[in-house]
Amino acid sequence: MKANNALHLKNNTRAQVGIGTLIIFIAMVLVAAVAAAVLIQTSGTLQQKAQSTGKQATQEVSSNLMVKTIEGVRAKNTSTDMSDTIDLLKLKVGLNVGSASVDVNQVVVSISDGTTANNLVYAGNEKSYASTGASDGNMSAFSDTNATANLEKLLSATSTVGNNSEYYYTVEKIRDEDSSFSQANPVMNTGDLITLYIATTSSASQGTTYPNVGDITGLSTLKSSGLTLVPRTTVNIVLTPESGAATTADFVLPSSYGVTETVQLYP
């Protein structure tokens, strides 16, 4: 007999279904990988922006400067012949814990006696009161090295804008461990402590009657600041740095100065 050699093919589509599933699976993996990459990149960008925004927000709401004490000094001729007003304020200023460096050159000091308000900039600031497009706004004859000379000019000289006492303040370092603070570059770092001088000479004290103010002696003439700090006057001082919250110091002057030359006013 002749063998039956007929060949029969079985219709089986399972392999085709498996290939389609594999293709879909690979496509899903690729889509998931792309989506994950986009999410990771987006989250990284958002994290960086959030950190930057948080840091800036913290700087804006935090108070960098701290007014530790304020002393008032009366101008005098002799130890018994003194003016009836406070003619110089000495603010001891430091930095709060964790504060960033502060450029004193950009700090604006506002002071008011309830009647007159002066907005003061650092004596070495070349821009605030400069002519348009120029850099001649600093206090006339400002010294890059001599704090005492600058204080003398603050009390007794004028600049292109008017009496120095109406537009400027000066500073002197007390503690500066890294020697980074100078008259030309007044940048405060952590641990630094300075004295900030505000001239408050009244119209009654101006002139040649009282040539001595604190350690400054032999002044040719005192220039009025427009302020009048007589007893019981309420004084408001605001220090506004370039970034960070403003620092405020409010106090009421004593009912009498008596025979005291230097008066503790704050805190």
Closest to 169 measured CA to CA, from 115, 128, 211, 212: 128
Q: Check if the beta carbon of residue 131 is closer than 8 Å to that of residue 161.
A: no
Residues 153, 167: Cα–Cα separation, whole Å: 12
Q: Residue 8's pLDDT is what? A: 59
Q: Check if the beta carbon of residue 74 is closer than 8 Å to that of residue 82.
A: yes
Output the CA angle 27-29-34, nearest 5 degrees.
95
Q: Check if the beta carbon of residue 175 is closer than 8 Å to that of residue 192.
A: yes
Mean pLDDT by 10 residues, the chain (267 residues): 59 60 84 87 77 57 82 96 97 90 95 97 95 89 96 96 97 93 94 97 95 95 97 97 91 95 96
Q: Which residues pair with 175 in a beta bridge?
A: 193
Residues 214, 169: Cα–Cα separation, whole Å: 16
DSSP 82: B
Q: Residue 199's pLDDT is what? A: 98
Q: Which residues pair with 196 in a beta bridge?
A: 91, 171
**Residue-range domain boundaries for the chain:** 13-61, 64-266
Only one residue has tokens 């405020």, namely 248
Q: Which residues pair with 240 in a beta bridge?
A: 108
Q: Residue 97's pLDDT is what? A: 83
Q: Residue 45's pLDDT is what? A: 78
Tokens of 259: 């025979």
- Report helix, strand or coil for 136: coil
Tokens of 35: 């989506």
Q: Residue 17's pLDDT is what? A: 58
Span 26-68, pLDDT tens digits: 888 888 888 888 888 888 777 777 666 665 555 555 568 999 9
Q: Check if the beta carbon of residue 214 is closer than 8 Å to that of residue 195.
A: no
Residue 79: Cβ within 10 Å count? 9
Residues 118, 109: Cα–Cα separation, whole Å: 8
